[in-house]
Structure 1
């Protein structure tokens, strides 16, 4: 059989479209793991990036921290956490949070550092304390820089969330891991295509959010920090 025939045979099965192993069920599980991991990473990385960027220094610390985290192998980290905590939702979530943390931290830090100092001075001249300046001025004006980091984090997490199936959880990775175990190549191909399509869809949605949700007055004169730029900084720091 060809790959197309394997895929067509898998798509023709009733259990592919209904029941606990259906595409809808596995997709909802995959999205749940991804959203939780991204939210946790954002809660940790964005405040830290705002704090370090507001201090006006700490680039070496940010890059060192981000590179150290990125150097951790996702599957190896997952296995280690499983050995410590046992099977459950915690190990894959920790691994995914570690994956999403660096781009969010770097882009938030770069966003705050790129702001015009006169805007910050004007806010403080109006009586804003440090907390209000960060929350009402620096954070909103850094959104065009934070979104590319969020986009990169989301794509990486969605692609890597298949590891949840490695420790017996659900998600689209079930098709890949179970399919490999049963030599069910249609399921493996179908799961891989679904993960790729989901990543592309999320990329498009976040691009549209960045295009329409950001006020033109907040858009910088040049393009915001891109995921590629952040990765370049990471590679440069490790070279």
Structure 2
């Protein structure tokens, strides 16, 4: 009976792994097909002068690049702050203040994204890339910070004791045992943060940050459905591609022994 269970478990696990691998190939292919079909429809239909001004290759590339740039800056900020801060907050001397930082990150994500953007704009009087990227990073920080803490705290204490037993320092145990084993959870948090960032970046036009939200706003305000659809589909496609990149990172950067 136990051998049958093991065989069944192996079969189920193998099927799950196969499904994940199929999804890794199917997701980007579906995005390319859907976005391609929408772009063909938008470029081949009869557009008026306002639609033609927005639906042109140069404009779409510029707005997509602005959206990607915001996402990359947010990713750098979130990783640069969330991972080191999470590592520090797992140390015994810093654990009492961990709830404070988690609470601050919770506030950032619980508050409406548009409210965070506008309040930051009013406080700093900035506009452009950084006026959008900094509050979006604050909004997207929680998954990386929380997953870093949970991932490190979930490491088997026996492995930590073994590392100390062979003469590793506290920092050696952290960087050579705890962090590598926490990578899958950290990457899962980063994946969530990036998808949040892509979605929230559509609001960047409120602070002159650019991005695909400008197309959505133009299409809505001027009642140009084609512009609205193109902007929305490009934003959704970008979010799905970012999610796919996150899945690739989880698949190939995680500890091989855990796969």
Same fold (TM over 0.5): yes
Q: Partner of 2:6 in structure 1? A: none
Q: Partner of 1:163 in structure 2? A: 203
CA contact (8 A) 2:83 2:148 kept: yes
CA contact (8 A) 1:173 1:191 kept: yes
Deviations 1:112-149 (A, max 9, x none): 01001121122223332222222222111110111111
Q: Partner of 2:34 in structure 1? A: none
Residue 43 (structure 2) aligned to one of 11, 15, 39: 11
In 2 relative to 1, CA 54–116 (structure 1 residues): closer, same or farther, beyond 3 Å?
A: farther
Does residue 28 (structure 1) correspond to residue 68 (structure 2)? The answer is no
Does residue 45 (structure 1) correspond to residue 82 (structure 2)? The answer is yes
1:14, distance to aligned residue in structure 2 (A): 7.9
Please report the TM-score for the alignment, with normalisation by the length of structure 2.
0.74
Q: Partner of 1:141 in structure 2? A: 181
Q: Partner of 1:74 in structure 2? A: 113
CA contact (8 A) 1:8 1:186 kept: no
C-alpha root-mean-square deviation of aligned residues, in Å?
2.4
In 1, the alpha carbon distance for the partners of 2:166 and 2:88 equals 21
Which structure: larger Rg?
2
1:60, distance to aligned residue in structure 2 (A): 3.9
Please report the TM-score for the alignment, with normalisation by the length of structure 1.
0.79
CA contact (8 A) 2:199 2:235 kept: yes
In 2, the alpha carbon distance for the partners of 1:32 and 1:48 equals 24
CA contact (8 A) 2:117 2:136 kept: no
Which 4+ runs in 1 deviate beyond 4 A? 6-9, 56-59
1:208, distance to aligned residue in structure 2 (A): 2.3
In 1, the alpha carbon distance for the partners of 2:182 and 2:251 equals 15
Count, aligned residues: 212
SS in 2 for 1:127: coil
Q: Partner of 2:104 in structure 1? A: 65
Does residue 192 (structure 1) correspond to residue 192 (structure 2)? The answer is no
Residue 141 (structure 2) aligned to one of 101, 110, 119: 101
Deviations 1:174-199 (A, max 9, x none): 10122223222211111111111111
Q: Partner of 2:241 in structure 1? A: 201
In 1, the alpha carbon distance for the partners of 2:74 and 2:245 equals 18
Which deviates further from its counterpart, 66-75 or 39-48? 66-75
